[in-house]
Amino acid sequence: MIRLDRLAALLIVVAVLRGVCSADQALYDPKWPIRLATTSGDTTVVLQSRCRDCKISLAVSRGRATTHSSALSATFGAPITLRIVSPSVALAIGRPTWFAYSVALFDIGTGGVIDEFSSYHPSISPDGKYLAFVQFYPQHGTPEYATTDIVRVYDVAYGAAGKYSSKTNNPGRVVSPLPPDGKMHRLESEIVWSSNSAFGYIETVDGERHKVTVVRDGSRWTALDGSRPQGA
């Protein structure tokens, strides 16, 4: 028993020295610190994780001076993507678990968080104007057979203007399945953009494999099933 107690104490000391977050704050990626930086013109945005207080901090600099900063909680997850998508907006993606992703929009002028939500398979268009993702649903306590993967598109400019309701965790518009077909859709690949107005992915529908391409015409998004004739 003495040896086990000493071993347990040693492990606790090692964890503290390494700056590992507590279990309820642990991020998907335990490698600390994580620092992401992106620059556009004279503007630099830095996303920095620090484990001493399990916070994700964001700093906005213009020239040599840091003008604004803000912080996200550890529930945002390990930051993996950071982009300046317009002169006034930065978009960040974090990974809090093996499966889920967090998305956050920041106001470059103030450093404040404009919008934040959870998702699966988020993918930013090449021009940074749109984000395609699978609608979030809890992994635990949700029967797999009772959920279907719903693909949505988030308009960054629309979200930056605060036009999406803050009461929902699934902003943006549904693009597939539309209309709801009562079938079980499961994404089997990442979402890949082929242009600023088109992306594709592989899914199974009630176990049958399909290749789906989603295209934009003006403000309308349409999902095209390339695996079988339309209407079949």
Phi then psi for residue 8, to 5 deg, are: -65, -45
Whether the full predicted model's pTM is greater than 0.85, yes or no, is no
Is the pLDDT at 8 greater than 70, yes or no? no
Per-residue model confidence as pLDDT tens digits over 130-162: 999 999 876 554 554 457 899 999 999 988 888
Domain spans in the chain, listed from the N-terminal domain onward: 1-111, 127-232
> At which residue do the structure tokens 């960040």 appear?
92
For the stretch 168-223, pLDDT in tens is: 567 889 999 988 888 999 999 999 999 999 999 999 999 999 999 999 999 899 99
The pLDDT assigned to 134 comes to 94
Does residue 127 register a pLDDT over 90?
yes
pLDDT in tens, 78-116: 778 999 998 889 999 988 777 789 898 988 888 788 888
* CA angle at 30 for the pair 69 and 186, rounded to the nearest 5°: 95
- Which residue blocks in the chain are alpha helix, DSSP H? 2-18, 156-160
Instruction: Provide DSSP, 87-118.
Output: TTEEEEEEESSSS-EEEEEEETTT--EEEEEE
Between 12 and 93, residue with greater pLDDT: 93
Dist CA 55 CA 50 (whole Å):
6
Helix, strand, coil % over all residues of the chain, rounded to 5: 10, 50, 40
At 20, the pLDDT band (50, 70, 90 cuts) reads very low
